[in-house]
Amino acid sequence: MAISEIELMLQGHGLLTAQIFYRMPDHRNILQTFLWQEYDQAPEFPRLRRFLDFWQRNLDGPLHSVVYTHQRLIRPGEWRKVDGEFTLH
């Protein structure tokens, strides 16, 4: 069963954006970039590591570098119990 994005966020996953620089297979002196986003868990980043391992095993363009940013979208202080509600109009 697939886990929803909100369930991942509640488990501590955040949105990871990785900019991957790689060399073109036929022209090694030219760098290209690939942008990848996934929900992942800091600081180990298991999904990013699996993706980069897959890249190195199966793709011809060798990796040059990876720049990433990670942001937890739901933080502990953002959820609170609500005891009442006022309805206007």
Which tens digits make up the pLDDT trace of 9-66?
A: 888 889 999 999 999 999 999 999 999 999 999 889 999 999 999 999 999 999 999 9
Give pTM, 2 decimals. Answer: 0.77
Up-side HSE of residue 86: CA atoms within 13 Å toward CB? 1
Query: Phi/psi at 49 (nearest 5 deg)?
Result: -60, -40
